[in-house]
Amino acid sequence: MTIPTPVSHPTPLSLLSDASSRLEKALQYVTLSKDALDRLKYPKAGLTVSIPVRMDDGSLRVFQGYRVRYDDTRGPGKGGVRYHPNVSLDEVQSLAFWMTFKCALLNLPFGGAKGGITVNPKELSRQELERLSRGYVDAIADFIGPDIDILAPDVYTNAMVMGWMMDQYSIIKRKASPGVVTGKPLALGGSEGRDTATAMGAFNVIKTLLPLFEQYPSNTTVAIQGFGKAGAALASLLDGAGYRIVAVSDSQGGIYAPQGLDIPKIRSYKRDRQSIQSLYCHDTVCDMGEQEIISNEDLLKLDVDVLIPAALENQITAANAADIRARYIFEVANGPTTSAADQILDAHGVLVFPDILVNAGGVTVSYFEWVQNRNGLYWTAEEVRDRLATRIVAEAKATWAIAQDHKISMRTAAYVHALNRLGQALDAKGTQDYYNQTP
Ligand code: NAD
């Protein structure tokens, strides 16, 4: 039998990696103490666990799980739990790092965390998935908590999984603990508006910033890559506000109609048939107007005003950035643009509005869910919507002001804004300068 190599303890983040090169740019515009910078190079804590699961056929499988709390200076850790075959400690650590910045940018009283299990959940039965989810919480229960580190859904986890996790934690602690997990079903203490929060946040950012360039619904065309929870809900919001959505796509391809797409009809077909392309494959629906089937790669290159990547990471790269004809990119997906592509887009005058701002509606309403759980008083959908709008619009405007002041990109401005808050919190505990002052 071969003994697996033990997973190493979280290592210091390399400031040379693609992700942190963006941070390095932002550092030029922030007065950050060396103490704060040194602190941010290291994750605060990381846990690797083995989760034994009794499978339906009676066999035992042992899964690897992780939880990393990158920084909790501004409050308890906050971040999703990902179920994916590629999950590794390194990946979880990088995602926890970005959560730290997203929470600081939105001024949420949270630090950054992330978790995951190396598993293909599609291979498990529902019962096995439940045992795995409860086993994960058994393994990390001492590492999390409503005041320590709060879980949420991420790739291939959903409200059902969050409900199991909250229930398991409550069983272990022998008390109802809804605040340990957000993104729960409404019936188990979830928040109104959580399911559409990411789209609603992005919609507010778009509505706030586009008019600065004299782009209004009536004169703005939009292409959206990814028609899932975030992309489809955002398509409906933009469509409802009068923007002309000319192209959408999913993993099977896309559709394009310069005169504008019928979004409600596409959503209902997608719901029924799980694909956008099915619109063309069935005579019954081909009377919807003149639409063209396009590839995802084509969608990215369309001559539109606004491009919204809402599917996967690394979609706009050095290989295709020069072909982008949109003038504004709003990143709903996490990490859709590489840093090499950023430079090319910048040189071509394409304005990129970064993921940590544009998709932060989800974590913001997660914060609202946590607040409601702690107070035991629940808000209406309108209250959630209004509070989200107030917060994300304020941070979008503040980020724009920083970008203007320093003449820097919105991405760098977002990191500057987040770093300022993180630096202040870290320095409030004392710096070398403080301790070296003579009394
Ligand atoms: P989802 O799984 O509901 O939807 C993903 C969509 O992308 C699906 O329509 C899928 O068919 C499509 N897709 C997959 N591969 C594609 C490809 N190669 N080209 C085009 N489309 C493709 O996921 P989601 O929750 O909507 O998340 C989408 C992105 O938004 C992810 O990057 C996610 O991290 C980010 N995000 C989501 C939330 C949220 O609350 N849902 C919050 C923050 C960030």
SS (H, E, C) 76-143: CEECCEEEECCCCHHHHHHHHHHHHHHHHHCCCCCEEEEEEEECCHHHCCHHHHHHHHHHHHHHHHHH
pLDDT at 19: 62
pLDDT at 200: 98
Ligand 1 centre to CA of 196 (Å) is: 13
Is the CB of residue 296 below 6 angstroms from any atom belonging to ligand 1? Answer: yes
Is the CB of residue 116 below 6 angstroms from any atom belonging to ligand 1? Answer: no
Q: Tell me the mean pLDDT in the region 384-390.
A: 98
**Cα radius of gyration (the chain):** 22
Number of residues written out for the chain? 439
pLDDT band at residue 18 under the 50/70/90 scheme: low
Q: What is the pTM of this model?
A: 0.92
217 has a pLDDT exceeding 70: yes
Q: What is the tens place of the pLDDT at every residue in 350-363?
A: 999 999 999 999 99
Whether 270 sits among the annotated catalytic residues: the reply is no
Kindly list the structural domains of the chain, giving each domain's residue range(s) and its CATH number in brackets, ordered by start.
43-177 (3.40.50.10860), 197-349 (3.40.50.720)
pLDDT at 120: 95
Helix (H) or strand (E) holding 355: helix 355-358
Is the CB of residue 299 below 6 angstroms from any atom belonging to ligand 1? Answer: no
274 has a pLDDT exceeding 80: no
Given ligand 1 and candidates 98, 270, 359, 384, which is best to mutate, with the most ligand atoms within 8 Å of its CB?
359
- Number of alpha carbons in the 13 Å side-chain half-sphere of residue 180: 22
The whole-angstrom separation of Cα 399 and Cα 100 is 17
pLDDT at 371: 98
**For the chain, how far is it from start to end, CA to CA, in angstroms?**
64
Helix (H) or strand (E) holding 272: helix 263-273
Among 48-57, 89-98, 398-407, whose mean pLDDT is lowest? 89-98
Is the CB of residue 225 below 6 angstroms from any atom belonging to ligand 1? Answer: yes
pLDDT band at residue 310 under the 50/70/90 scheme: very high
Say if residues 48 and 115 touch (Cβ distance below 8 Å).
no
The whole-angstrom separation of Cα 312 and Cα 431 is 40
- Residue whose CA is closest, atom 8 of ligand 1? 228
pLDDT at 270: 79
Quick one: which atom of ligand 1 is closest to the CA of 227? Answer: 9
Q: What is the tens place of the pLDDT at every residue in 102-148?
A: 999 999 999 999 999 999 999 999 999 999 999 999 999 999 999 99
Ligand 1 centre to CA of 312 (Å) is: 6
